[in-house]
Chains A and B, each alone.
Chain A
Amino acid sequence: MTSESAPIFARGVRKHFPGSERPALDGVDLTVRAGRVCALLGGNGAGKTTMIRILTTLTRADEGVVRVAGWDVRAEGTRVRASIGLVGQYAALDEVLSARENLELFGRLAGLDRRRARERAGELLGTAGLQEVGRRPVGSFSGGMRRRLDLATSLITIPAVLFIDEPTTGLDPQARRELWSSVRALTAAGTTVLLTTQYLDEADALADDVVILREGRVIAEGTPGDLKKLVGEPRMELREPTLEDVYMHLHEGVAAS
C-alpha cells in the first residue's frame, strides 16, 4: 500500500487564520496506516483541533495535500464525510432533544429508515451505558454522559476513520478507561483512529503511533517506544522513561535551540 492511500495522509499542511500572528499549522505531514490508533499530542494552541478540522473537511487548509480514506478532502468532501466519524472537542448535541432522539436524528441523517434508526439508537444507548437516561433531555446530562453520547452518535454507521478531539477531557478515571476500551474495540473492528490529547499517559496507553505537535509543527513522531528511546538511558531514577520524560526532553531541546 502506498502511503497516499493510507486512511489518513497529509503533506505540507499549512493554515494561517486571518489576523493571527503565527500559522496554526506550519507544514504538517501526517500518515496513519489502516487499523492504527494515532495520537496527536500537544499543548494548548498546538494546532490539534485545526488539524482535525482540516482532515474532517470542516476547515480548508491554505496549502498541502490532504487525503482521508483515499479521497481528497477538498475535491471529494462528501465521499470523505461518508467514511468518517467525528467527535469534536465540544459535544455537538441537540440539548433540547433526549439522548435517544439525538441518536435517531443522526441515524436518519445517515440514511437509515425510521425503524432501523430506532433500533440502532437502542443498541448505541446500550453500548454507551445510557439506556436509563435515554429519554432525558441532553441539556440535563453531565459532561461524561455527553461525551459518551457524542461518541455513540459518531458510530451510527461504523466509520472507516474516526477522529476524536480530546476524548477524555473532563472524564473521571473510570469513564476514561471505558472510553479507551471502546476505542480499542473499534480498532479491533478495523477502524483507523486519530485522537488528540494533552495527556501523555493517554497516548501511552492507547496509541500505536504518536505525533507531537508544537506551535503548528511536528517536533517528534514514532511509536511510544521509539519516543521513549529518545530520552536515552534512565538517568537518576531506576524506572522506564515515560512519554512525559520525552515531552519534557523535547521541550527543553526546543527551548534551548
Chain B
Amino acid sequence: MTTTISTAPVRTHVWREALILAGRTLRHWRARPVGFAIQVFFPVLVILLMGGLLGGAIAGSAAQYILFVIPGVLAFTMLSGIETTMIAVTTDATRTVTDRFRSLPISPGAVLLGRVLADMLTSAVELVVITLAGLALGWRWENGVLPALAAYGLLLWLRFGLLWVGVWAGLRVGSPEAVGAVQLLSWPIGFLSTVFVQPSTMPPWLGAIAEHNPLSATASAVRELFTGVHLQGLTWAADHALLFALVGPLVLAAVFCPLAIRAFQGLSR
C-alpha cells in the first residue's frame, strides 16, 4: 500500500465529470441490453398497436393513421422520458449513491449535468428508433430536411424542459415505487392531447383542453414542420403551436430547473 497522503486537486471539472457520469448510463445499457431494447422499442409497439387496433376507426385506415400518429408518438416519448429520469434519480438517491457522489471532490453541478446529458442522449436514440420504424411503415418528412431537423430540435427541447420536472420529482418522491404513479399519469396526459387524435373529433370543451396541453403544442408543431401544412386548430393556442412548442419547455425549465437545483442542495439539510 502506498504511504502518500492524498493531495487531490481541488479544481473541479464540471464537463469532464458530467461526461463520466453520463458514461455510466451508457454502461447501464450495455449491462442490461434487453431492458434498454424494451424501453426503446416500446413507442414502436404503441404505434403498431394504435395503428392496427384503432387506426381504422380513427382515420379510416391503419396506414393513414400511422402517418398521423408518428409525430404524436415522438412527442409522447419525450413525455414518458420523465419516468426514465425519475427512476434514475430516485434509485441513486435511495441507494445513497447520490451521497457518495456528493462526498467526492467533484463539482456538485456535474451530478445534474451528467443526468441531463445521459437522458438527452437516451431520448435521441429513442427518436432515431421511432423514426426508422416510421420510415419502414411508409412515413416520410415531406417538407425538406431542415424543417425536419427543426422538428427533432423541438422534440428534444420538450424533453429538456420535462427533464427538470423529472429531476425535481425524482429528488422529492424518495422511493422508486412512487414513479409508477407518474408512469400512469402520462397516459391520460397523452390521450388528452393532439398526440393520438385530432381535437376536432372531441367535444369542444375537451378539445380546447387538449389543445392547451404543452404536449399538443409540440406534437402539432412537429406535424407542421414535417408536412409543411398548417393545421387549423379550434383555439388560438393550436393556431400558434410552434410558438407554444418553443415557450412551453422554456417555462418548464425556468420553473423546474431552479426547483431541482434547490432540491439537490436541500439534500444537505
Contact = CB atoms under 8 A, between A and B. Distances in A.
Interface of A: 18, 56-60, 78-79, 81-84, 86, 88, 90-98, 101, 105-106, 108-111, 127, 137, 153, 157-160, 185-186, 189-191
Contact of B104 (A81, A90, A127, A190): A81
Contacts of B95: 90, 92-93, 95
Contacts of A101: 27
B31 interface: yes
Nearest to B28: A96
A189 B105 contact: no
A94 B97 contact: yes
B6 A159 contact: yes
Q: Is the interface of A mostly helix, strand, loop or mixed?
A: loop
A79 B101 CA distance: 15
Nearest to A87: B100
Contacts of B97: 92-94
A58 B98 CA distance: 10
Contacts of A189: 1-3
B103 A81 contact: yes
Nearest to A97: B27
Contact of A158 (B5, B100, B103, B106): B5
Interface string B24-43: 10011001100000000000
A145 to B, nearest CB: 16
B29 to A, nearest CB: 10
A82 B2 contact: no
Contacts of A158: 1-2, 4-6
Contact of B99 (A79, A88, A109, A157): A88
21 contacts: A57-B103, A57-B268, A58-B267, A78-B10, A78-B12, A78-B105, A81-B104, A83-B8, A90-B96, A98-B31, A105-B24, A106-B104, A109-B101, A110-B8, A127-B1, A157-B6, A158-B2, A159-B6, A189-B1, A189-B3, A191-B5
B99 A92 contact: yes
B34 to A, nearest CB: 13
Interface of B: 1-10, 12, 17, 20-21, 24, 27-28, 31-32, 95-97, 99-106, 267-269
Q: Is the interface of B mostly helix, strand, loop or mixed?
A: loop
A190 B10 contact: no
Contacts of B5: 158, 160, 190-191
Nearest to B13: A111
A190 B3 contact: yes
A18 B95 CA distance: 23
Given A88-B100, A92-B96, A97-B27, A109 B6 contact: no
Given A58-B102, A106-B104, A189-B2, 11 more contacts: A56-B103, A58-B99, A60-B269, A90-B95, A94-B97, A109-B21, A127-B1, A137-B31, A157-B8, A158-B6, A190-B3
B185 to A, nearest CB: 26
A58 B28 CA distance: 26
A82 B10 contact: yes
Which of A86, A111, A137, A159 lies at the interface centre, i.e. has the most chain B CB atoms within 10 A of its CB? A111
Contacts of B12: 78
